[in-house]
């Protein structure tokens, strides 16, 4: 009887088994990895925890920036064109976070054994979104694949 996480005997040229990480990546580790260490790195693999924590971080930061833009615009409403400054700051911040968000999505697709170009499925209304969610939630491959070794969930 095989134990979970134990290497399996290789048969017929099967890839080497490498157990998935036992711990998930933390929130701050994921944000540091995605937004600083791998800002525009489209190669390699990203675990589910790295992807979803960074996605949550993007959502929180974008929401805070939007609230800042609304409140700043209300406070500076009588200042003329200066009232647009908070909105411009928020827009620059949100746009700057798009590249690492796409990069971690591509790395997540690589973890499941799919090409990063499969993210273009989001162009298809409804069905594309459903497939994207399924792919992002599914467990990654438990062995080295064409995109690299199994993610370790540690800071690099």
Question: Which residues are within 8 A (CB) of 38 and not within 5 positions of it... i.e. 6 or more apart?
Answer: 44, 100, 103, 104, 107, 156
Average pLDDT of span 79-98:
89
Whole-number Cα distances in Å, 9 to 6, 12, 15, 143, 146: 10, 10, 10, 13, 21
What does the alpha-carbon distance between residue 144 and residue 44 come to, in Å, rounded to a whole number?
A: 11
Q: Where are the domains of the chain?
A: 45-137
**What is the Cα 5 distance to its own chain's centre?**
25
The SS3 assignment for 143 reads strand
153, pLDDT greater than 70: no
Bigger pLDDT: 9 vs 70 = 70
Half-sphere exposure of 113 (CA within 13 A, CB side): 9
The SS3 assignment for 101 reads helix
Q: Supply the pLDDT for residue 13.
A: 55
Bigger pLDDT: 15 vs 91 = 91
Beta carbons of 34 and 61 less than 8 angstroms apart: no
Q: Supply the pLDDT for residue 19.
A: 57
The closest alpha carbon to 27, from 59, 68, 73, belongs to 59
Average pLDDT of span 122-147:
91
pLDDT in tens, 31-58: 898 899 999 999 999 988 889 999 999 9
117, pLDDT greater than 90: yes
């Amino acid at each position: 009887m095989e134990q979970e996480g134990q290497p399996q005997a290789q048969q017929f040229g099967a890839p080497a088994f490498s157990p998935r990480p036992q711990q998930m990546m933390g929130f701050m580790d994921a944000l540091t990895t995605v937004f600083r260490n791998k800002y525009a790195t489209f190669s390699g693999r990203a675990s589910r925890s790295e992807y979803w924590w960074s996605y949550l971080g993007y959502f929180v930061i974008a929401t805070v920036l939007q609230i800042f833009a609304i409140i700043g615009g209300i406070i500076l409403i009588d200042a003329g064109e200066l009232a647009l400054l908070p909105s411009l700051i928020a827009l620059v911040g949100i746009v700057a976070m798009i590249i690492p968000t796409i990069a971690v999505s591509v790395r997540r697709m690589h973890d499941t054994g799919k090409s990063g170009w499969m993210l273009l499925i989001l162009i298809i209304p409804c069905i594309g979104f459903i497939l994207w969610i399924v792919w992002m939630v599914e467990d990654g491959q438990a062995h080295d694949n064409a995109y690299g070794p199994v993610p370790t969930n540690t800071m690099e």
